């Protein structure tokens, strides 16, 4: 039997020197074992080879049974480990755990908790504009775990935008803003779905587009679009969170006549005369101001979706960055409003 052990060791060592895989080396040992077993079973008892083997067939069968049992157990353990390991990328369970860890600070908030975070995950929010207000708003909506975020804008990133539109980077100059924003949002949170619409909002698409979303957020800088957004939201009974900026000041409110609040045109019946409400390009704007007001829009959106706290229906917050003051104005529906009365 000693020479069989030496032969087995030699085969294993030779296989290692030649770089043969373990599986092939085990096959070589298995063939040696089968050869020995066949010799014991087929050769007559007086044959010299049987004497050299030194152990009866029963002993070799017992030894083979032990090795077969050990091999089967090792294969079973290996199979269980393979099943436990995810395929390339995270398994659904791991993905879920990562998402829970990401949103843990929301979940421990008494006003949001697990049910509120689930509503954020299921929410569909449309943002009009990916500029000054849209940039921080989109970032915080994505970070908060809002499940589906649409963004519509027909503009491209320009160098002058980067002073305040923090979602865009220098390398994105010349890229459509919606695609630049999408790239940054998905990089920040892979668990959200971003729908970019690289076009200008107009009457032809507004109603159909808004119908796909639960909440509309307007961060545009022209009255024509603001009035279009407002009348479409009123017609579809969609809540609208809108904000505006000017130099050092920002304002924000929630317009929702379907639930007793005024609409945007109740408060601003007509666009101001030319020159009375200059754009940011004409009058300038403090760089961090859109971040403050855009983040306020994201806060109001999270409250609207989860039902936490009290929203800004019937109230307008005016933030004066130059003097560090907040003012709150009460708003009422206008009985003669052509849109919601």
Question: 134 with 153: CB under 8 angstroms?
Answer: yes
Question: 232 with 243: CB under 8 angstroms?
Answer: no
As given in the structure block, the two tokens for residue 238 are 């969609």
Chain segment 29-52, per-residue pLDDT in tens: 676 666 665 665 555 555 555 555
CA angle 8, 10, 12 (to 5 degrees): 70
Our CA dihedral for 332, 333, 337, 340, rounded to 10 degrees, sits at 150
Sign of torsion, CA 287 271 310 321? positive
Nearest to 267 by CA among 209, 205, 318, 304: 318
Kindly give the confidence (pLDDT) of every residue in the chain, 341 residues in length, as a single tens digit, with 9 standing for 90 and above: 555 665 666 655 665 666 666 666 666 667 666 666 566 555 555 555 555 555 555 665 666 667 677 667 666 656 554 544 444 455 667 778 888 899 999 999 999 999 999 999 999 999 999 999 999 999 999 999 999 999 999 999 999 999 999 999 999 999 999 999 999 999 999 999 999 999 999 999 999 999 999 999 999 989 999 999 999 999 999 999 999 999 999 999 999 999 999 999 999 999 887 767 777 777 889 999 999 999 999 999 999 999 999 999 999 999 999 999 999 999 999 999 999 98
Domain 99-330 CATH superfamily: NAD(P)-binding Rossmann-like Domain (3.40.50.720)
Is the model's pTM score more than 0.95? no
Cβ atoms within 10 Å, residue 146: 27
CA angle 139, 141, 143 (to 5 degrees): 65
Residue 189: the pLDDT is: 95
Residue 50: the pLDDT is: 53
User: What is the Cα–Cα distance from 19 to 15, expressed in whole angstroms?
Assistant: 6
Nearby residues of 18 by Cβ (< 8 Å), 6 or more positions away:
none
Residue 192: the pLDDT is: 96
User: What is the Cα–Cα distance from 184 to 300, expressed in whole angstroms?
Assistant: 22
Q: By three-state DSSP, how is residue 242 classified?
A: strand
**113 conformational bin, left if phi > 0, alpha if psi -120 to 50, beta if neither:** left
User: What is the Cα–Cα distance from 207 to 202, expressed in whole angstroms?
Assistant: 9
CA end-to-end span of the chain: 103
Instruction: Spell out the domain ranges in the chain.
Output: 2-84, 99-330
Nearby residues of 100 by Cβ (< 8 Å), 6 or more positions away:
107
As given in the structure block, the two tokens for residue 94 are 């791991």
Residue 272: the pLDDT is: 83
Question: 197 with 321: CB under 8 angstroms?
Answer: no
Q: By three-state DSSP, how is residue 273 classified?
A: coil
Between the CA of residue 245 and those of 92, 153, 161, 228, 292, what are the distances in Å? 43, 18, 15, 19, 10
Our CA dihedral for 135, 326, 249, 270, rounded to 10 degrees, sits at 100
Residue 94: the pLDDT is: 79
């Amino acid at each position: 039997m000693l020479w069989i052990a030496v032969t087995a060791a030699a085969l294993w060592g030779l296989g290692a020197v030649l770089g043969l895989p373990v599986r092939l080396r085990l096959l070589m040992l298995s063939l040696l074992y089968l050869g020995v077993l066949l010799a014991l079973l087929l050769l007559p008892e007086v044959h010299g080879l049987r004497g050299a083997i030194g152990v009866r067939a029963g002993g070799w069968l017992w030894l083979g049974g032990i090795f077969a049992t050990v091999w089967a157990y090792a294969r079973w353990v290996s199979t269980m480990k393979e099943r436990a390991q995810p395929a390339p990328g995270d398994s659904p369970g791991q993905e879920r755990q990562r998402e829970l860890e990401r949103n843990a600070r929301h979940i421990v908030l008494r006003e949001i908790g697990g049910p509120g975070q689930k509503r954020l995950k299921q929410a569909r929010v449309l943002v009009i504009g990916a500029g000054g207000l849209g940039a921080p708003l989109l970032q915080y909506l994505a970070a908060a775990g809002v499940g589906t975020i649409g963004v519509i804008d027909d503009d491209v990133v320009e160098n002058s935008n980067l002073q305040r539109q923090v979602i865009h980077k220098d390398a994105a100059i010349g890229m459509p803003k919606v695609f630049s924003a999408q790239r940054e949002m998905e990089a920040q949170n892979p668990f959200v779905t971003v729908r970019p619409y690289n076009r200008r909002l107009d009457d032809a698409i507004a109603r159909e587009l808004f119908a796909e979303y639960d909440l509309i957020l307007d961060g545009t800088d022209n009255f024509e679009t603001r009035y279009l957004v407002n009348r479409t939201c009123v017609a579809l009974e969609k809540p609208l969170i809108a904000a505006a900026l000017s130099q050092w000041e920002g304002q924000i409110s929630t317009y929702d006549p379907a639930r007793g609040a005024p609409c945007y045109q109740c408060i601003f019946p007509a666009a101001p005369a030319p020159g009375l409400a200059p754009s940011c390009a004409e009058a300038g704007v403090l760089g961090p101001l859109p971040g403050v007001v855009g983040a306020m829009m994201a806060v109001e959106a999270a409250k609207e979706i989860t039902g936490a706290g009290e929203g800004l229906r019937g109230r307008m917050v005016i933030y004066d960055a130059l003097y560090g003051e907040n003012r709150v104005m009460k708003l009422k529906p206008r009985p003669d409003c052509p849109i919601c009365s």
